[in-house]
Amino acid sequence: MNNFEITVPTTIVFGKDQLAQVVKQIHKHYDGQKLLVLYGGGSVERSGFLDRLKDALSSFERHFFKGIEANPEFETLMKAVEYIREHNIGFMLAVGGGSVIDGVKFISGAVNYAGDPWEVLQRKPGTEFTSAVPFGCILTIPATGSESNSGAVISRAELKEKRTMGGPLFFPKFALLDPTFVATLPKRQLANGVIDAFMHTMEQYLTYPSGNLLQERYAEGILSTLIEIGPKVVEHPEDYKLASNLMWCANQALNGVLRCGVATDWATHMIGHELTALHGIDHAQTLAIVAPRLYELKFENKAEKLAQYGRRVWQLEGSDREVAAAAIRNTEAFFHTLGVKTRISEYTTDYMETPAIVKQRFTERNWLKLGERQDLTLGKKAL
Ligand code: NZQ
Ligand code: ZN
């Protein structure tokens, strides 16, 4: 088992009818009055939730910022940064999915940053966010795990770029996980949530046997649960049992616990982010495109773990190689049962230049060796 360190400081409040807990949590972390609620394109207005939230927060001086896009956009987030500076906001409440929560993480760091915050996302030497406006969140879509981790992914459309950031400053103070939000999600977002949670687990599992037996069983538990509930929750998002299991799986898949003591891959995500930046394909869809092909490409390196995955998660039988190959086929078929396509040509016709652009970007960033063995290189077959 590898050495590890873990801190998971975000308080999780799980379940329905818990708005009073949100107010208590804010008071616990903020003794001022000025609160900014940030949300996305309006799903929380349409569901009537925002009105209930306004009532619950009536003891605060409430401000609102609407319009954080899916794949949160730098320009929009900078408007929120200006608003916070102008109005002296002391606490933020993110109401939404990974995009709103990630956006709020970025805003929280950018508010007190003197230079151009894009430099920090570019990882220019000597640049970093050194303080963060405290924030909590209300999760409306189970997928990313952003509600209790410290990472964020920010897009800049004019540059067709998507950049990551993070660090201990950016853990939400608390997260409300209310599965009743799942009921209003469109099928596409439900399938995205299942696949993102599945792939977060795979990135921290489908490597090589780690010696951390508990973590491997834990990952297999999440994968098995997602296979069991995934297709059902896409059809019946109003089913509280299904919805709550999806929400908890998605949270557990990326709250930091799975990575303890094990090797991690993350190459599917790094390539996938470029497909979103270049083609606007949904995050989870990019993972469904990249992962099966990446597992085929790295079959020899991953064969041992693929066989373990095939036997324990898919109950497959046969030789190691047969089981490993069938496990990849089952994974791709699972994505199909969720209604998600796994070929880039099914999303765009404009992909011929994509490998060259990705290769150039990874070269500029010195991302020359990816994967758990640092052996996924930019050779001709890298994509
Ligand atoms: O904006 P609104 O109107 O709310 O609509 C949203 C949005 O269009 C809608 N939605 C959310 N909750 C809803 C709802 N519609 C109806 N009912 C509800 N209850 O869903 C759409 C997608 O929302 P978004 O927040 O973009 O989805 P997701 O949670 O999948 O987040 C994706 C973003 O997170 C990043 C991705 O790259 C992408 O930018 N990621 C963040 C990670 C992290 N911080 O740890 C890790 C991930 O790997 C990922 O990269
Ligand atoms: Zn993801």
- Residue 319's domain is classified under what CATH number? 1.20.1090.10
97 C-alpha vs ligand 1 centroid, how far in Å?
4
Count of domains observed in the chain: 2
pLDDT of residue 382: 44
Question: Ligand 1 pocket, 184 CB below 6 A?
Answer: yes
Ligand nearest to the CA of 183: 1
**Which residues surround the ion ligand 2 when the cut-off is CB under 5 Å?**
196
Other CB atoms within 10 Å distance of the CB of residue 29: 15
The whole-angstrom separation of Cα 123 and Cα 325 is: 39
Domain that holds residue 330: 185-364
Q: Are both 176 and 190 inside the same structural domain?
A: no
pLDDT of residue 383: 44
pLDDT beneath 50, residues of the chain: 382-383
1 falls within a domain? no
- Residue 84's domain is classified under what CATH number? 3.40.50.1970
Which residue bears the tokens 């189970």? 142
Q: Are both 30 and 147 inside the same structural domain?
A: yes
114 falls within a domain? yes
Contact in structure between 257 and 218 (CB atoms under 8 Å) = yes
pLDDT of residue 379: 78
Q: Are both 214 and 271 inside the same structural domain?
A: yes
- Among 193, 199, 198, smallest CA distance to 181 is for 193
The whole-angstrom separation of Cα 200 and Cα 354 is: 24
Taking only the tens place, the pLDDT of each residue in 277-309 is 999 999 999 999 999 999 999 999 999 999 999
Question: Ligand 1 pocket, 195 CB below 6 A?
Answer: no
Name the domain boundary from 122, 157, 180. 180
Phi/psi for 18 (5° steps) reads -120, 25
pLDDT of residue 30: 97
pTM of the model: 0.97
Ligand 1: atom nearest CA of 184 is: 17
For a substitution probing ligand 1, which of 95, 102, 165 has the most ligand atoms within 8 Å of its CB?
102
Ligand 1: atom nearest CA of 69 is: 1
The whole-angstrom separation of Cα 47 and Cα 7 is: 35
Ligand nearest to the CA of 178: 1
Question: Ligand 1 pocket, 102 CB below 6 A?
Answer: yes
The whole-angstrom separation of Cα 262 and Cα 253 is: 14
Nearest CA to ligand 1 atom 21: 70
375 falls within a domain? no
Q: Are both 78 and 170 inside the same structural domain?
A: yes
278 falls within a domain? yes
